[in-house]
Amino acid sequence: MAYAYDPQNIFARILRGEIPNSTVLETEHTLAFRDIFPKAPQHVLVIPKGAYVTYDHFFGQASEAEIVDFARTVAKVCEMVGATADAGAMGSRAITNAGEHGVQEVPHFHLHILAGRPLGRMLDMAEAE
Q: Which residue numbers are catalytic?
A: 110
Q: Which residues of 87-121 are buried (b: 16+ CB within 10 A; e: fewer)?
A: eeeeebeeebbeeeeeebebbbbbbbbbbeeeeee
Count Cα atoms within 13 angstroms, Cβ side, for 37.
1
In the bound state with ligand AMP, the residue whose beta carbon lies nearer, of 45 and 74, is: 45
- Please, which residues bridge with residue 45 across strands? 33, 112
105 binds ligand AMP (CB under 6 A): yes
94 binds ligand AMP (CB under 6 A): no
At closest approach, how far in Å is the CB of 50 from ligand AMP? Answer: 17
d(CA 55, CA 98): 7
124 binds ligand AMP (CB under 6 A): no
Considering only 3, 10, 55, 76, the residue that binds ligand AMP (CB under 6 A) is 10
119 binds ligand AMP (CB under 6 A): no
Count Cα atoms within 13 angstroms, Cβ side, for 115.
19
d(CA 83, CA 124): 23
At closest approach, how far in Å is the CB of 121 from ligand AMP? Answer: 19
In the bound state with ligand AMP, the residue whose beta carbon lies nearer, of 68 and 95, is: 95
Binding stretches for ligand AMP (CB under 6 A): 10, 19, 21, 35-37, 45, 97, 103-106
